[in-house]
């Protein structure tokens, strides 16, 4: 009976492997390891479509890479694609950022293991064959020093008659989308004002007691990332005074970015896009 159960277990593993997702060869270039991944057994044949592939980056402890809007320092990962005829790649979708530091300079980035997603437009596929996706990934990793570099990545994808999702990678892709920033709920009123070399950002009343659980990651270098805001309460609202960045627009019309808010034991992310008025 025990041998029968072992055989069944082995057959299940073989079956799962045959339906598994596709992973490109892992490339280790200290302090990072990369590969391209796909959450199924192949590209379905037939009409043109859009698929998603993933870029996985694993970082050694103490090292980080940068978000698409790094802040005061850093260069975000990018890929120069080499694709089959008729294929095209869209913009890399980044996971929400974390606070990282290069020396003592605070910036916006990622640590540990993270997944990035990239949309691929695929032409009609009819013949049973295999395609290879290639790309030159450029990046900068920092700790007590910084290492800008690039590495070649590839992923082979067969054409299949029926798409079969991979349990592990399908879950990872689903989790990625679940953590993407949400739209601000109705009734959440924010205000941004330009005051000389500073921006005043006001948060809504119900967030007033969550001051220590809030963070804001600005896009386009509108404000300095290497700062802690001057915080005060006014009329039951949180008011942050933030220094503008000398590398960004001097008269910004809006301030955009991601609000990080701890809700329960988890962090939630909301996308802000606030018009800036002037007190001048």
The answer on 94 and 41 residing in a single domain is yes
pLDDT-derived band at 9 (thresholds 50, 70, 90) equals very low
CATH of the domain at 153: 2.60.40.1250
Q: Name the helix (H) or strand (E) containing 167.
A: helix 167-178
pLDDT-derived band at 151 (thresholds 50, 70, 90) equals very high
The answer on 205 and 159 residing in a single domain is no
Q: Tokens at residue 279, please? A: 């007190």
CATH of the domain at 239: 2.60.40
pLDDT-derived band at 208 (thresholds 50, 70, 90) equals low
The answer on 272 and 173 residing in a single domain is no
- Domain span at residue 261 reads 182-278
The answer on 126 and 200 residing in a single domain is no
pLDDT, the chain, mean: 88
End of a domain among 134, 156, 178?
178
The answer on 197 and 159 residing in a single domain is no
Does residue 13 form part of some domain? Answer: no
The answer on 160 and 46 residing in a single domain is yes
Q: How many domains does the chain have?
A: 2
Q: Name the helix (H) or strand (E) containing 57.
A: strand 49-59
Phi, psi dihedral angles at 14 (to 5 degrees): -65, -45
Does residue 6 form part of some domain? Answer: no
Does residue 3 form part of some domain? Answer: no
Q: Tokens at residue 131, please? A: 């395609």
pLDDT over 90 (residue 11): no
State how far the Cα of 21 lies from the Cα of 11, in Å rounded to an integer.
Answer: 18
The answer on 117 and 242 residing in a single domain is no
Exposed, middle or buried: residue 150 (CB in 10 Å: 0-12, 13-18, 19+)? middle
End of a domain among 178, 195, 224?
178
Does residue 240 form part of some domain? Answer: yes
End of a domain among 137, 156, 178?
178
The β-bridge partners of 24 are: none
pLDDT at residue 185, rounded to an integer: 87
The answer on 242 and 204 residing in a single domain is yes
Does residue 9 form part of some domain? Answer: no
pLDDT-derived band at 203 (thresholds 50, 70, 90) equals confident
pLDDT-derived band at 232 (thresholds 50, 70, 90) equals confident
Does residue 5 form part of some domain? Answer: no
The answer on 72 and 55 residing in a single domain is yes
- C-alpha 71 chain-centroid distance: 15
Does residue 4 form part of some domain? Answer: no
pLDDT over 70 (residue 166): yes
| 198-203 and 191-195 strand pairing | antiparallel
More confident residue, 18 or 131: 131
Kindly state the DSSP code that residue 169 receives in the 8-state scheme.
Answer: H
- CB within 8 Å of 114: residues ≥ 6 apart: 56, 57, 95
């Amino acid at each position: 009976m025990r041998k029968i159960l072992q055989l069944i277990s082995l057959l299940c593993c073989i079956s799962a492997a045959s339906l598994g997702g596709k992973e490109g060869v892992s490339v280790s270039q200290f302090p990072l390891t990369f590969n391209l991944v796909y959450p199924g057994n192949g590209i379905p044949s037939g009409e043109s479509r859009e698929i998603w592939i993933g870029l996985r980056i694993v970082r050694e402890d103490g090292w980080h890479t940068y978000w698409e809007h790094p802040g005061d320092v850093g260069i975000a990962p990018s890929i120069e694609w080499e694709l089959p005829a008729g294929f095209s790649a869209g913009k890399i979708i980044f996971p929400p950022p974390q606070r990282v530091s290069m020396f003592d300079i605070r910036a916006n980035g990622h640590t540990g293991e993270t997944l990035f997603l990239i949309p691929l437009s695929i032409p009609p596929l009819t013949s049973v064959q295999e395609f290879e996706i290639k790309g030159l990934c450029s990046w900068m990793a920092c700790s007590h020093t910084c290492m800008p570099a690039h590495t070649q990545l590839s992923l082979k994808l067969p054409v299949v008659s029926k798409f079969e999702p991979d349990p592990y990678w399908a879950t990872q892709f689903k989790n990625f989308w679940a953590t993407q920033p949400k739209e601000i709920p109705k009734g959440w009123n924010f205000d941004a004002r330009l005051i000389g070399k500073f921006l005043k950002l006001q948060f809504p009343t119900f967030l007033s007691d969550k001051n220590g659980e809030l963070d804001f990651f600005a896009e386009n270098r509108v404000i300095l990332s290497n700062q802690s805001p001057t915080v005060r309460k006014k009329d039951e609202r949180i008011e942050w005074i933030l220094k503008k960045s000398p590398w960004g627009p001097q008269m910004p019309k809006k301030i955009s970015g991601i609000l990080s808010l701890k809700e329960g034991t988890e962090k939630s992310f909301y996308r802000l896009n606030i018009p800036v008025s002037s007190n001048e």
